[in-house]
Structure 1
Amino acid sequence: MTTYPSPALHQEPDLSRELLTVPQLMARLQLGRSAVYDLLRSGQLVSITLGRARRIPTHTLTDFIRTRLEQEAA
């Protein structure tokens, strides 16, 4: 008997879960709004703009944290 993979395995990822809003980023980093916008303005965190909304990809946050940990360890 031949089995085929479930169609659920081939679905596209939910991109809305891969993009964070500024308030979500504030909560994750436990920083205030001004501090988060300073990180975005300085280029330490990268964001995209969709209309008037700013979104931060989760991989950007992961990269930022990894870089900061490496800097602290050096």
Structure 2
Amino acid sequence: MADIEKMYDKMFTDYPDVVSVPQLMKMLSVGRHAAYELVSSGEIQSFKVGKNIRIPKIKVIEYILGARRCCL
């Protein structure tokens, strides 16, 4: 958990604590389909606010750190 807390202070400082799908697309440099697939599959945890999907920034960072560990 300490790694995530350290990275949280350093990664994506220009983004709010909770991001939208278009922001997720920019953060990960992926297209719309890939972003929605990550969210709908549960690979990146999200929640709905009305019709809008919101993603906690910490979950994006956890996803990146997990992907990095698996591929090193």
TM-score range, shorter chain: 0.7 to 0.9
Which residue type is aligned with residue 57 of structure 1? Answer: P
Residue 46 of structure 1 corresponds to 45
- 1:41: how far off? 1.4
Residue 67 of structure 1 corresponds to 66
Residue 8 of structure 1 corresponds to none
Name the SS for the 1:17 alignment partner. Answer: coil
Name the SS for the 1:45 alignment partner. Answer: coil
List structure 1 runs of 4+ shifted beyond 2 angstroms: none
Using the alignment, how far apart are the partners of 2:43 and 2:68 within structure 1? 14
RMSD: 1.3
Instruction: Output the TM-score relative to the length of structure 2.
Output: 0.76
- 1:66: how far off? 0.4
Highest RCO, 1 vs 2 (Cα 8 Å, sep ≥ 6) = 2
Greater Rg, structure 1 or structure 2?
1
- 1:42: how far off? 1.2
Residue 30 of structure 1 corresponds to 29
* Structure 1, unaligned runs of 5 or more: 1-15
Percent of pairs with identical residues: 33
* Structure 2, unaligned runs of 5 or more: 1-14
